Amino acid sequence: MNENMMEYETVELDDEDGSIVIIDQTLLPGRTERIRLKTAQEIWDAIYLLKVRGAPAIGITAAFGIYLLAKGIETEDYGAFHKEFTRQKDYLDSSRPTAVNLSWALERMNQICLKNQDKRVAEIKEALKEEALAIKTEDTWVCRMIGEYGLSLVKPGDGILTHCNAGQLATSKYGTATAPVYLGQERGYHFRVFADETRPLLQGARLTAYELSSAGVDVTLICDNMSAMVMKNGWVNAVFVGCDRVAANGDTANKIGTSLVAVAAKRYNIPFYVCAPTSTIDRNIETGSRIHIEERPAEEVTEMWYKERMAPEGIKVYNPAFDVTDHDLITAVVTEYGIARPPFEASFQEIFKRKEEKGLEKRKEYGLG
């Protein structure tokens, strides 16, 4: 394989052109194509249709998107500006309801408008640009730190299983669940990675297996229903998965099938780690039962990957994009500010306290100011 996905930017802002440049992930691994998003409809479609996916990458795209849309609002009246800004923000926010980074990034951009309402609209637009770029820069730092903490949980030569794609393609760099793998690759850990194919959209097969193998990682693709077998064989020492939202009690929403991996890991006494930026921890939601689960079109199950339709016409289809892994199946949640262990309510409180106290110090260390 000639291409190394680590050399590509997942999401870029081309301010001069007035566009967001992304890798169209729906075309991988057959073709690596960078496309430009300019209109609200194009940005919404790219998020909904999974041309860009992964909670952090969605957040970055939304931040760049609302900046570009705000840039195009032609008024000097703050009230009129913010009314249109809010309309566009709410529209983008409707594209994917489960990934909290989408609403988190958009609200963070909204706060820039609110905090600068005494300034000229042109100055607000510039502040929005700076904030959007900061969201991307911070994500790279966050993934790096998650990688460092995650790497402390495993040893050279370990077998690692992952589900869906929480890699470089889902973030600005390194990924979340794959960050320990990439850092380990840089340091000669020689991990053996098992990637679930992740039905029905095959993000593990099309994306995780692709990017890891292109980076030289020893990766083996397995069907989703093979995870228990490789665990029972003793080939897996740890499971690392990403997530789209974490409830206050530690329940975690991630790509459909994650909870089955967690159950199998529990059965075979394998640690199950969720890699979660603090931006995905939603302390306003008490348990996973309150997380809204997106349902996808039936065609993704019945015909999307097949030359001919593979299911009977008119068959009922249940196609949730995510499931919720109960907190008692999770060994730890790995964040950029440390590793949270049960009871998660208390450890999350400590994580956010550490974020508040040491966040500025770490940002300066990584050149974020």
Q: Which residues pair with 221 in a beta bridge?
A: 195
Those residues whose C-beta lies under 8 Å from the C-beta of residue 201, and which sit 6 or more positions away, are: 50, 296, 300, 304
Structure confidence at residue 358 as a pLDDT band (50, 70, 90): confident
pLDDT at 68 over 80: yes
Claim to verify: residue 104 and residue 43 sit in the same structural domain = yes
Q: Which of 26, 259, 252 is nearest to 163 (CA)?
A: 259
Establish if 2 belongs to a structural domain. no
Percent of the chain beyond pLDDT 70?
A: 95
Establish if 112 belongs to a structural domain. yes
CATH number reported for the structural domain that contains residue 14 in this entry: 1.20.120.420
Establish if 150 belongs to a structural domain. yes
pLDDT at 366 over 70: no
Claim to verify: residue 198 and residue 74 sit in the same structural domain = no
Establish if 152 belongs to a structural domain. yes
Claim to verify: residue 153 and residue 69 sit in the same structural domain = no
Helix (H, G, I), strand (E, B) or coil at 349: helix
Average pLDDT rounded to a whole number, residues 206-233: 96
Claim to verify: residue 119 and residue 226 sit in the same structural domain = no
pLDDT score for 97: 81
Establish if 244 belongs to a structural domain. yes
Which tokens in the block code for residue 275? 């890699």
Rounded to whole angstroms, how far apart are CA atoms 51 and 108? 23
Last residue of a domain, one of 86, 114, 140: 140
Helix (H, G, I), strand (E, B) or coil at 299: helix
Q: How many CA atoms lie within 13 A of 238 on its CB side?
A: 22
Claim to verify: residue 158 and residue 120 sit in the same structural domain = no
Establish if 1 belongs to a structural domain. no
The reply to whether 45 belongs to the active site is no
Which tokens in the block code for residue 262? 């967690």
pLDDT tens digits for range 302-335:
999 888 999 999 999 999 999 999 999 999 999 9
CATH number reported for the structural domain that contains residue 202 in this entry: 3.40.50.10470
Last residue of a domain, one of 140, 160, 187: 140
pLDDT at 240 over 50: yes
Claim to verify: residue 321 and residue 179 sit in the same structural domain = yes
Rounded to whole angstroms, how far apart are CA atoms 359 and 336? 10
Please state the pTM of the whole predicted model: 0.88
Claim to verify: residue 122 and residue 224 sit in the same structural domain = no
* Residue from 196, 244, 251, 323 carrying the catalytic annotation: 244
Q: Return the H-helix or E-strand segment holding 48.
A: helix 40-48
Establish if 316 belongs to a structural domain. yes
Which domain, by its residues, includes 347? 143-365
Q: How many domains does the chain have?
A: 2
Which tokens in the block code for residue 302? 């019945």
Claim to verify: residue 87 and residue 191 sit in the same structural domain = no
pLDDT score for 367: 56
Claim to verify: residue 212 and residue 256 sit in the same structural domain = yes
pLDDT score for 48: 95
pLDDT at 369 over 80: no
Establish if 263 belongs to a structural domain. yes
pLDDT score for 2: 47
Claim to verify: residue 159 and residue 74 sit in the same structural domain = no
Claim to verify: residue 42 and residue 149 sit in the same structural domain = no
Last residue of a domain, one of 112, 140, 168: 140
pLDDT tens digits for range 76-134:
999 999 999 999 999 999 999 877 899 999 999 999 999 999 999 999 999 999 999 99
Phi/psi of residue 44, nearest 5 degrees: -60, -50
Claim to verify: residue 47 and residue 179 sit in the same structural domain = no
pLDDT score for 359: 62
Gyration radius from the chain CA atoms? 20
